[in-house]
Amino acid sequence: MKKKFLPKLIALFFIIIGCSCLNVIYAADTESSSNLTEVELEVPENIKEDDNYNIPEAVSISAENTLNEQKSLKEKLRDIYNLEIEKYDKPSYLMEEIFTHKYSENSPLDYTHFGAGYNGELGINFQDNGSVRNHYDFNAITASVDGVLKDNNADFRFMLRFMPYSHRNVMQTMFSDTYIGTNKIPHHRIQIGYFRPKVGHEGTLSTYVIPFLNRAQISREFGTVRKIGGKIEGDYKYLDYNLGLYSSGTFFKDFFPGAEFDGWINIKPLANTKGKYGNLKIGGGLQGGHRDNDYCVTGAYVGWEYKKFMANFEWASANGYNGNSGYSTKNHADGFYGTIGYMLTKKLQLLARYDQFDPNKHVTKNTRKEYSVGLNYFIKGQALKLILNYVFCDNQGTRDSHRIIIGTQIIL
């Protein structure tokens, strides 16, 4: 009975969301947009610039950019050279002006933007037995097209991800974020397609904004995997939430092995202080689903930013899980990490992290601990960045190791 009910529930959910999206898109075509002499592209007050809530996630087209379409290529390149980016909590583009196309007033489209990104690392791993292993990894090579309809009625993203070395086939790794969404409901966003569910905090973030080159262990074990589904996000002054229903299949390996629910709620107790004491966010959530057997992950998060200082802490416990490293409906696992960071200058950030993970609580002496320090040099914000990480791996079940990792990131 349970297996029959869950597919019906998720199907109903998609129908409701789909109808909402079609209504707002239809409204975009029917509402008059004539006699407009200037296009305003400011983000509505109910849309916040945190937690990848920008729509589309990585595109931020300013009014100044759209009014400078008559600039020559040489002038645009000079602007790139002089570009200064202060915000590091979302991806930024080096060539946003060059790769953004603005449409006429008669078109239902407002603008489209082509983007491409690269994040890679060169690492040296020193084992306690004296062996040394070098590696080069491609964390992300992406190409995307984002589009926004007039009056921000709806938006879409189509992203491809190229991974030269992967144990999955081409189809299972090629497609990345592919969705359509709308922000027309005040304080809310509805999105359907293929994207990361809200499993924890760091597990949902883009590769291009995480503080270290590698995610914390609970993030890479329980989260950071894309699934087909739909979600509703709400964002208010003191509260935001993310509720979604998805297929439990990952990387297109299965058509519909079962249904999955992901829910997360954050409270913002300092929202009324106008930043005097910084920004504080306290959250928690639940993932529950079925894939061969039932699985459940619970988590909690605290994050605080104050001037040049940042700190975040996250805990998660799983009775079975369904993440990027695969799914396990038998293992009871848990983990915790804490990260602190300080901006030494406007471009140089110092980081430190403690990260602990127990892959199976029924097995003794198998806890994995990672102690990390890092430097991020933001040449042009997240659009052009150099990264240096050192990680000491204290493993109870295997040999300890030391890693020195040098990374580069560029987003065009």
Q: How far apart are CA 317 and CA 125, in angstroms?
A: 29
Give pLDDT tens digits for 159-196: 999 987 777 787 788 999 999 999 999 999 999 999 99
Assign 191 to helix, strand or coil. strand
Cβ atoms of residues 207 and 119 within 8 Å: yes
pTM of the model: 0.82
Query: 41 is written with which tokens?
Result: 């592209």
Where is pLDDT greater, at 211 or 76? 211
Amino acid (one-letter) located at 242? N
Query: What is d(CA 304, CA 314) in angstroms, rounded to the nearest whole number?
Result: 12
Place of tokens 């990792």: 405
60: pLDDT strictly greater than 60: no
Q: Is the model more confident about 250 or about 77?
A: 250
How many CA atoms does the CB half-sphere of 146 hold within 13 Å?
20
The more confident residue out of 294 and 64 is 294
Domains of the chain (ranges; CATH) run 2-411 (2.40.160.10)
- Those residues whose C-beta lies under 8 Å from the C-beta of residue 240, and which sit 6 or more positions away, are 48, 51, 53, 233, 234, 265, 266, 268
More confident residue, 352 or 26: 352
The pLDDT value recorded for residue 128 is 79
3-state SS, residue 394: strand
Instruction: List the alpha helices (DSSP H) in 223-311.
Output: none
Tell me: the pLDDT tens digits for 232-243? 999 999 999 999
Q: Residue 354 has what pLDDT?
A: 98
DSSP designation for 203: G
